[in-house]
Structure 1
Amino acid sequence: MNPHPVQALIFDFDGLIVDTEVPLFEAWQENYAAYGHDLRLEDYAGCIGTDFSGWDPKSNLENLTGGPVDWDHWDTERERHAHEKIEQLGPLPGVGELLHEAEAAGIPCAVASSSSRGWVERNLHRIGLFEKVKLTRCRDDVSAIKPDPELFQTTAEKLGVPPENAVVLEDSLNGLRAAISAGNPCVVVPNRITAHLEFEGAAARVSSMEEVSVQKLPEWIQR
C-alpha cells in the first residue's frame, strides 16, 4: 500500500494563521500619510513573507520627502498601532479546523516563518494553537529567510518527511518561491495584501483556509 502523499503540513504564520499583514500595512500607510505621501500596495506586497532588503519602505519615504524622517518616533508609533490591532485578532477562519483535522489523521504540522521565534510562538500561544504545532522554524534558526528555501528545507528535515510529501501553506509570493525551490508542493491562500498577485507554480490557490482539507490536498498536489 502506498503511503499517504501528505505526510506533513508546513504553515506560514503572518497573513496565513493570523491576519497580521493588514494592520502592519495600515500602520505604514499612516506613517506615509503623515508626510503627505501614499504607500503603494504593489510596492509593499513584494516584501510580504520576507524582509525589507529588496525594497525598503523607509528609504522609499525618505526619497519621496527629500528630507529627514523622525524614525525614532515613527518606529514606536507604527509598532504600537499595529500591535494593538493584532492583539485583538484570532486565527483566520479554517486554520484551527485544519490543524485539528491533521492531528486526527496523524499528520504533523509545523510553522516556518520569516518572522522571529518570539513573535510567532507568543502569538500561537495567545490564540491557543501552540500545542497543535509540532515544530516552529523561524528567522532565528536559519542563515537566510524566504524566498530562500532553507526554512522549508530544514523544517521538512526536522519532521523526517521528504519535501514532496510536506505540503506548504502560504499567502505570499516569497513563500511560494521558497517552497518551489525546496521541492515542496505549495497551496496558496492569499490575504488582502497579496490577493492581487499571480502565484504561478502553486499546486492550488484558494480564497480561504476554510477551503483546505486533508482530503482535498492529495488531489491538488498530484495534478
Structure 2
Amino acid sequence: MKLVIFDMDGVLVDSETIYHQFHPYYFSTKLGIDLSQEEVDALTGVASREIYRHYKALYPEKLPLEAEVYVEQEYDLLMVKFATLNPFPVIDGIPELLEILQQQGYRIALSSSNQRRMVDLCLRRSGLSTYFENVLSGEDVAKAKPDPEIFVRQAEYFGVPVEECFVIEDSTNGCRAAKAAGMPCFGFINPHSGAQDLSLADWKTDRWDQESISTLLQVLAGEQVISSITL
C-alpha cells in the first residue's frame, strides 16, 4: 500500500457523541422533527447536505427552505461548540499512528463528509494538519459516501491505483464507499459512532495501541494477517 486515507469524525476526532446529541436537539427544537436512535445512527458518515435533502423530501412542510439553509444554521451552532471544546477530543493513539506512518514514508490523505470549515477547524485544533498531504471535504465532491467519489478522487490526486490505497473508517457508509472504490478498509470500532455495521471492513480494531498499530503496519506492508479482527 502507498496511500492511507483517513476519515475524520470518529476516526481522528472523537466527535460523533457531539453530533449524536446535537442532531436530535436541532431537529426537534428547530424543525419539529423527532429522530429515532436508528435514524441518528444512520446519519453517521453522511454529508450534511444529503441529510437535509433526505428529510426535506420526507417533511417538505417542516423544511420549506433549501436544504443548504438548514445545513448552515446547524453548522453555525456546531462551529461554536467545537471551537470551545477543551480539551479537544483526539482519538487515543492517532497522533502516534500518524507519526509512524509518516516516518515510514506512507502518503496520508483525509476524506471527510464534513463541511470544509469544520474539517479545517478540527485539524487546526487537534494539531494534526501537518500529516495530511491532501484533504477532501463533503463540499469537494458531487456525491457523498457511500458513493466512492471522495476516495477515488484521492487516488487520482496522488496518481496511485485504487488497489494500492487503504482506507480507515468508523461508519457503515464509509466502509461501503471504500469497498465501492476497490480499496481495502480497516474499520475503527468507535462506541460513540452508534450502531455501525463494519462487516465490509477487511480488518477491525477498537483501539490504537501497539498491537493494533503493528497489525495495521503488517497489512500495509502486504504481510499475511491471520486474524481478520484485532480487538
State the TM-score, normalizing by the size of structure 1: 0.78
Contact 1:41 1:193 in 2 (8 A): no
Give the distance between the partners of 2:88 and 2:82, measured in 1 at CA: 10
Please name the residue that 2:21 is paired with: 26
Q: CA deviation at 1:158?
A: 1.0
Q: CA deviation at 1:86?
A: 4.4
Give the distance between the partners of 1:160 and 1:18, measured in 2 at CA: 28
User: What is the one-letter code of the residue matched to 1:209?
Assistant: W
Contact 1:169 1:186 in 2 (8 A): yes
C-alpha deviations, 1:10-33, integer Å up to 9, x for none?
000111100111112112344567
Q: For this pair of structures, how many residues does the alignment match?
A: 209
Contact 1:27 1:82 in 2 (8 A): no
Please name the residue that 1:41 is paired with: 37
Please name the residue that 2:218 is paired with: 216
- Is it true that 1:95 corresponds to 2:94 in the alignment? yes
SS in 1 for 2:191: coil
Please name the residue that 2:140 is paired with: 141
User: What is the one-letter code of the residue matched to 1:43?
Assistant: E
Please name the residue that 1:9 is paired with: 4
Q: CA deviation at 1:95?
A: 1.0
Please name the residue that 1:207 is paired with: 206
Q: Is there any run of 5+ residues in structure 1 with no aligned partner, and where?
A: 1-5, 64-70
Of 107-116 and 19-28, more deviation after overlay is shown by: 19-28
Q: Is there any run of 5+ residues in structure 2 with no aligned partner, and where?
A: 63-69
Go from structure 1 to structure 2 and tell me whether the alpha carbon gap of 1:53 and 1:91 turns closer, same or farther (over 3 Å shift). same
C-alpha deviations, 1:27-68, integer Å up to 9, x for none?
2344567699964322111111113157539967x98xxxxx
Q: For residues 34-73 of structure 1, what are the structure 2 equivalents within 5 Å?
A: 39-51=35-47, 52-53=51-52, 55-56=54-55
Identity over aligned pairs, percent: 28
Contact 1:16 1:92 in 2 (8 A): yes
Contact 1:31 1:78 in 2 (8 A): no
SS in 2 for 1:110: strand
Give the distance between the partners of 1:149 and 1:117, measured in 2 at CA: 18
Go from structure 1 to structure 2 and tell me whether the alpha carbon gap of 1:10 and 1:76 turns closer, same or farther (over 3 Å shift). closer
SS in 2 for 1:56: helix
Once superposed, what is the RMSD of the aligned Cα atoms?
3.2
Q: CA deviation at 1:110?
A: 0.4
Go from structure 1 to structure 2 and tell me whether the alpha carbon gap of 1:146 and 1:106 turns closer, same or farther (over 3 Å shift). same
Give the distance between the partners of 1:16 and 1:39, measured in 2 at CA: 24
Go from structure 1 to structure 2 and tell me whether the alpha carbon gap of 1:30 and 1:119 turns closer, same or farther (over 3 Å shift). closer
Please name the residue that 1:151 is paired with: 150
Contact 1:204 1:220 in 2 (8 A): no
Please name the residue that 2:166 is paired with: 167
